[in-house]
Chains A and B, each alone.
Chain A
Amino acid sequence: MSLRNIGIVYRKELMDSLRDRRTLISTIVMPLLLIPAMTIGFGSFAISMVKKAEKEVPKLMILGGEDSPGIVSALRSLPDAVFVPASDDYARQITNKVVRAAVRIPAGFEASLHGGDPASVEIYVYEGELKSEFGAQKFRAFFDDLRQRTIESRLAARNLSPAILRPFVVTKKNVAPEEKVGAAFSSAMLPYLVILMCLTGAMYPAMDLTAGEKERGTMETILTSRVSRTHLVLGKFLLVLTASIATALLAVTSMGFSSHMAATMFAKDLPPAAAQQFRLSISPQALAAVFVLVVPVAVLFSAALLAISLFAKTYKEAQSYISPLMIVVIVPAVASLMPGVELNWRLALVPILNTSLVSKEIFTGTYHWNFIGAILASSCVYAAAALATAVHLFQREDVLFRT
């Protein structure tokens, strides 16, 4: 094994790739720009939408209430709301977003309040539509307050303390560190992101170094040089692996930075718990442990992509082979995000899913050493098999010179 020749091939491929726009975009630009754009951009967009919905003066409708003038008049004096005349097609108007919400006051409502009879008020809303929900919220807040005042006045009339309704209080106290609770969202996304970035980072160099070389006619040139095919494929593989790991590292750095930025930017617009969801809080030890686990996955991706792309005659053909692979990788990575999917011995042998699951555990501070060992070992076996396949395929002339 000539490390010198592998090194020469690696250095040349590195220089070549750093001059390739497509590789640079997938390896460096994507993680550095896309992740902040997604985190901050999406967050800002969501917040601006909520703010816009909040600012809107909703059109509301009161149905019934002819015999409850006090309630109707109190409702009509609600600030920041416009009341439209009652209409029988209120449901259509709400659906068409002409009116945001409506309330039906039952007949004899005021009388039943004074008499102590039960009554039922109905609020009509377009569920899931933010502006409609904000409109309905005004009715809900009004009637919650009315109910509370009615209870208190009824208790006072019977000389009873309001405390009679609360014999005891239940409070929930969090013992987990504050940042862990808040950062659950970002931390759960991270393993998925790292695995996906390992794949996208490896994709373009793998295609360029195999199918791309065949297409450009340089494969035959290099095969006539002294370098052995094993050294050639190992040099190429190391470059693809470098791109894969570099993309993942840049993605983590970029996500850490953009999460921090987002949490700071949105702190004044969001309740603290919600803003905290953007913040990544991961210990350096956890990051190092996940990195060790991700390396065999990156090896697996790099070798598999190299082997698959080698079959293709052109860059375009390689893309059509690799696109389905994206789904094969994304499904197990996404599966790890599903609630209730927990690590067990069977899942510990499923490539990608195992790393994603154990990384999620590590990021929340739980280290199952037996699982970590098993996953590392199984990932190494898969990675070695993929690399051996890539090396073997490079020896086959029916693959190298497929017509």
Chain B
Amino acid sequence: MIEARSLTKIFHDKKRGAVRAVDGVSFRCEPGRIYGLLGANGAGKTTTLRMLATILTPTSGGATVAGFDVVAEPEKARASLGFLSTATALYGRLTAREFVEYFGRLHGLGENVLRERVNTLLTRLEMNDFCDRRCDSFSTGMKQKTSIARVLVHDPPVMIFDEPTTGLDVMTARTIIAFIRECRERGKTVIFSTHVMSEVEKLCDHIGIIHGGRLLAEGTLAELKAKHGMNDLEDVFVHVVTGSGVAAS
């Protein structure tokens, strides 16, 4: 499970002074559910997810990942999650197998378990043809599969996806979407950020609309449509964002 409680992040910028990138964001996501964080570029999605992944420390507020506090027990929180985004690249000079094994070892897997787990993953993701080649020679699709293997190697109960399909072709994006769905089926807690409405409609059980660092609306797709009296998620999104009076950051 993931629980964010008044998560706030303030950055200090030389030109702009104190910038509230995330401002009191609270939400909750249960196992076997996908929570979609929907927002435009610069809305605060990545900062929120980076705080949940313990890469950034909240200025105030807090969060728990699989019961572990992200500030007090960041290593345990990280051990319980898999974080995937288009910004999380691969080590180009390692092979896919070496790359996945490296992360498995860092997550404390013993050599025997690791070898077995990696072999299973490589077969399941149909990576056997290229798993012993260096990552810098991979196509985008191969890279995404390798990243998926990395986040799954320690079998975490929580998955965080930060705009995972940005810049990908249709086929690769479909692989990612299918993988996210599979995570839910396996009972994992999934948070998924995007600005693509169709992906949210296809995947998410619960949606949070974030803008200017604040969570402006929350609910299931049906609840949001009913609340705002609109049938199209895009209309709901624009209505929420334009009616919020919050300046885009």
Contact = CB atoms under 8 A, between A and B. Distances in A.
B106 A223 contact: no
Contacts of A220: 55, 85, 87-89
Contacts of B103: 225
Interface centre among A5, A9, A221, A398 (most CB of B within 10 A): A221
A19 interface: yes
Contacts of B90: 218, 221
Contact of A218 (B79, B81, B91, B107): B91
Interface in A1-49: 5, 8-9, 12, 15-16, 19-20
Nearest to A18: B93
Contact of B88 (A12, A217, A228, A398): A217
A399 B89 CA distance: 19
Interface in B228-247: none
Nearest to B85: A220
B132 interface: no
A401 interface: yes
B110 to A, nearest CB: 11
Contacts of B81: 224
B78 A225 contact: yes
Contacts of B87: 217, 220
B247 to A, nearest CB: 20
A226 B89 contact: no
Interface of B: 12, 53, 55-57, 75, 78-79, 81, 83, 85, 87-94, 98, 102-103, 105-108, 134, 150, 154
15 contacts: A8-B106, A9-B106, A12-B98, A16-B94, A19-B134, A217-B88, A221-B150, A224-B88, A226-B78, A226-B79, A226-B108, A226-B154, A227-B106, A398-B12, A401-B56
Interface of A: 5, 8-9, 12, 15-16, 19-20, 216-218, 220-221, 223-228, 397-398, 401
Given A218-B90, A221-B90, 18 more contacts: A5-B106, A8-B102, A12-B94, A12-B98, A12-B102, A15-B98, A20-B93, A216-B89, A217-B88, A218-B91, A220-B55, A220-B89, A221-B88, A224-B88, A225-B78, A226-B107, A226-B108, A228-B75
